[in-house]
Amino acid sequence: MSKDLIKDLRAKTGAGMNDCHLALKENDNDYDKALSWLRKKGEKIATKKQDREIKEGLIEAYIHPGGKVGVLLELGCETDFVAKTDDFKNLAHEIALQIAATSPEYITPEEVPAELIEKEKDVYAEQLKKEGKPAEMLEKIMAGKLDKFYSDICLLKQPYIKDDSMTIEKMLTDSIGRIGENIRIDRFTRYSL
């Protein structure tokens, strides 16, 4: 087993050396399979930690160059120790950059008012009616359109601006697995001139 593979895997995932070694061992030294294995393990860890109480965190302030856009973000975690780490601070900064760039209105789809969702559904239904889509396809198409709507206005559902193969939700889940504590975006405010 190559030490370089372990180092590369560690750099890519932030997982411990032992976990990287085990991932490669379990996957016959296949880097891509090991990477996927570690991500799945991180998701399992994140799921277990989601019920743990968040008592600490930090406020990240970001002002975009030129001073016309600014963001205040409250990112929560379980301990003061984690809140002071570079990894956590970097996560807060990246999320603030995302907010500055994409201007989301909500954190999760659950926060979107029901009236707004119904308005969107009415618009989509009218569009689909005009397009003459078959009735059996309407539900699937409607779900896809709603997913796109959520990815426009909900921070967690947005593609990450630096890697559109990952959503902010996935980035947060990966961070929980890597850091080992529950992390939550509590609130944000975006200012613009």
Q: Which CATH architecture has domain 56-107+154-192?
A: 2-Layer Sandwich (3.30)
* Partners of residue 185 on adjacent β-strands: 75
List Cβ neighbours of 58 (8 Å cut-off, separation of 6 or more): 74, 75, 83, 88, 89, 92
Closest CA to 22 of 14, 9, 11: 9
Q: Could you tell me where the beta strands, DSSP code E, fall in 1-134? A: 56-63, 69-77
For the stretch 74-127, pLDDT in tens is 999 988 999 999 999 999 999 999 999 999 999 999 999 999 999 998 888 888
Strand order in the sheet with 69-77: 56-63, 69-77, 184-192
Domain ranges of the chain: 3-49, 56-107+154-192, 113-152
Amino acid of residue 43: E
Tokens of 24: 């490669």
DSSP label of 54: P
Q: Is 177 exposed, middle or buried (0-12, 13-18, 19+ CB in 10 A)?
A: buried
Q: How far apart are CA 80 and CA 69, in angstroms?
A: 29
Number of Cα atoms under 13 Å in the Cβ half of residue 191: 10
- Looking at CATH, the fold of the domain delimited by 3-49 is given as Helicase, Ruva Protein; domain 3 (1.10.8)
pLDDT at res. 182: 87
For residue 188, the surrounding DSSP H or E stretch is strand 184-192
Q: Is residue 153 within 8 Å of 112, Cβ to Cβ?
A: yes
Q: Is residue 49 within 8 Å of 181, Cβ to Cβ?
A: yes
Average pLDDT (141-162) is 93
* Partners of residue 77 on adjacent β-strands: 56
Q: Is residue 58 within 8 Å of 184, Cβ to Cβ?
A: no
Q: Is residue 104 within 8 Å of 187, Cβ to Cβ?
A: no
For the stretch 11-67, pLDDT in tens is 666 666 677 777 777 777 777 777 777 676 665 554 554 565 778 999 999 999 999
Instruction: Tell me which of 142 and 92 has the higher pLDDT.
Output: 92
